[in-house]
């Protein structure tokens, strides 16, 4: 069981896609383990995207990411990191496979609708960036307590 970080970026939220995008993750037998809506500040953008701060596209990325609220999600399940990356599609929507979120919705490389962690280390860092430990609900524990009504 693995956990990854996914984010529905401001244009995804503004376009009313939150439900449809979360549906794609849950339909792939992934679980929402933590969820919040938050509008990034400039400091958030510098911290979260620390590795990109010096890149030429950062000013545009910062403007985009701070323009409205995003939905931050910790997604859990078997191979969650690879599965969410596959569901999101390539960073550049022109290269994203049909049926991926970015192919279906992203207008440009910068405004690419969703984010997902690219590996175990970044997943741990990114989940920890947005969530405290007591805000994360590992799926098995939640299932045991609340009961899962889905017929497998
Ligand atoms: P994301 O997966 O959130 O990681 C970094 C973000 O920077 C990326 O999605 C895009 O929104 C944005 N970006 C813009 N230009 C580039 C680029 N040339 N390479 C990578 N990311 C870019």
CATH of the domain at 62: 3.30.70.141
Summarize pLDDT for 119-138 with one digit per residue, the tens: 999 999 999 999 999 999 98
Whether residue 76 lies inside any domain: the answer is: yes
Ligand 1 centroid – CA 109 distance (Å): 6
Q: Whole-model pTM above 0.75?
A: yes
**Does 105 map to a domain?**
no
More confident residue, 7 or 148: 7
pLDDT given at position 152: 59
* Count of structural domains within the chain: 1
- 20 within a domain of the structure (yes/no): yes
Per the domain annotation, does 96 fall within a domain? no
Q: Which amino acid residue places its CA nearest to atom 22 of ligand 1?
A: 110
In the residue annotation, 115 being an active-site residue is answered as: yes
Q: What single DSSP character describes residue 133?
A: G
Q: What average pLDDT does this structure show over 21-36?
A: 96
List of residues 6+ apart from 77 with CB closer than 8 A: 1, 2, 28, 29, 30, 31, 83, 139
């Amino acid at each position: 069981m693995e956990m990854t970080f996914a984010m529905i970026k401001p244009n995804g939220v503004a376009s009313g896609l939150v439900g449809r995008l979360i549906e794609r993750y849950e339909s792939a037998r992934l679980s929402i383990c933590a969820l919040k809506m938050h509008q990034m500040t400039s400091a958030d953008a510098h911290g979260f995207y620390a590795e990109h701060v010096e890149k030429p596209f950062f000013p545009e990325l910062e403007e985009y990411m701070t323009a409205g609220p995003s939905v931050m999600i910790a997604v859990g399940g078997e191979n969650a990191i690879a599965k969410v990356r596959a569901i999101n599609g390539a960073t550049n929507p022109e290269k994203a496979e049909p049926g991926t979120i970015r192919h279906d919705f992203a207008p440009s490389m910068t405004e690419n609708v969703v984010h997902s962690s690219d590996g175990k280390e970044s997943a741990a860092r990114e989940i920890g960036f947005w969530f405290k430990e007591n805000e994360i609900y590992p799926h098995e524990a939640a299932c045991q307590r609340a009961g899962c009504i889905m017929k497998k």
